C-alpha cells in the first residue's frame, strides 16, 4: 500500500494533552475519515481517547464528517479540532 507523509495538527485541549503542535505521520494514500480517526485517536495518540468523542477532524482546512470523502496529498494537514470556544 502506497503511503504518503501528512502532518497532524493539534489545537486547544488536544494540543495540551499531546504536548505538541504538530506531528509528521505516514498514512495510506486512500485512507478514509474513519481510518484517520482511528490512527490518530487510538494508534498514534491514545492519550487523546478521553476527548475523542467531542473532537472532529479537518482535512486541508475543511471540516470533515465521518462519511466525508477524504482526498489526501503529500503534506496534507489533518487538524484535530476539539470543541470550539471562540467569541
Partner 1 sequence: MSSTKSLAPVLALVGCTNSGKTTIARCLVDTIQKLGKSAAMIEQDDDYLLAHQVEKVPRKHNPDDFYYHYDQISALNVGGLEKRLLEARQKADFVIIEGNMIAEIKEIMQLVDKVIFFTIDQKTCRRRREQRTYDPPDVEGYFDQIVWPAYLEHVRNAMSQARLDDRFVFVDVSSENDKATEKEVFEVIEAISRDFIKITSQTLELDAAMKLLRLPNCGATSIFIGTTRDTFDGKEVLQLSYESYDEMAYPELRKLCSSVRATFPTVERLIVWHRVGEVPVTEASVIIAAASPHRKDAIQAVSMAIDELKARIPIWKKESYADGEHSWKENEEWKVGKPKETSSSQIATYTKPQGDAKFFWLHELIQQLERLRKD
Least gap, CB of 27 to partner 1 (angstroms): 15
Is 34 an interacting residue with respect to partner 1 (CB under 8 A)? no
Name which of 10 and 39 has its Cβ closer to partner 1.
10
The C-alpha cell at 36 is 484517520
**What sign does the dihedral 11-63-37-39 (CA atoms) show?**
negative
Give yes or no for residue 13 binding partner 1 (CB under 8 A). Answer: yes
84 binds partner 1 (CB under 8 A): yes
Q: Which residues in 56-75 contact partner 1 (CB under 8 A)?
A: 56, 58, 60-65, 68, 71, 73-75
Which 3-state string (H, E, C) describes 4-54? EEEEEEECHHHHHHHCCCEEEEEEECCCCHHHHHHHHHHHHCHHHHHHHHH
* Residue 34 contacts residue 43 (beta carbons within 8 Å): no
Enumerate binding residues for partner 1 (CB under 8 A): 9, 11-13, 15-16, 54, 56, 58, 60-65, 68, 71, 73-77, 79, 81-87
Amino acid at each position: 500500500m502506497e503511503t504518503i507523509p501528512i502532518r497532524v495538527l493539534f489545537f486547544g485541549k488536544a494540543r495540551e494533552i499531546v504536548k505538541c503542535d504538530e506531528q509528521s505521520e505516514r498514512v495510506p494514500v486512500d485512507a478514509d475519515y474513519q481510518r484517520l480517526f482511528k490512527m490518530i485517536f487510538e494508534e498514534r495518540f491514545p492519550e487523546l481517547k478521553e476527548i475523542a468523542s467531542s473532537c472532529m477532524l479537518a482535512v486541508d482546512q475543511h471540516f470533515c464528517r465521518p462519511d466525508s470523502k477524504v482526498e489526501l496529498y503529500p503534506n496534507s494537514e489533518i487538524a484535530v479540532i476539539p470543541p470550539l470556544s471562540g467569541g
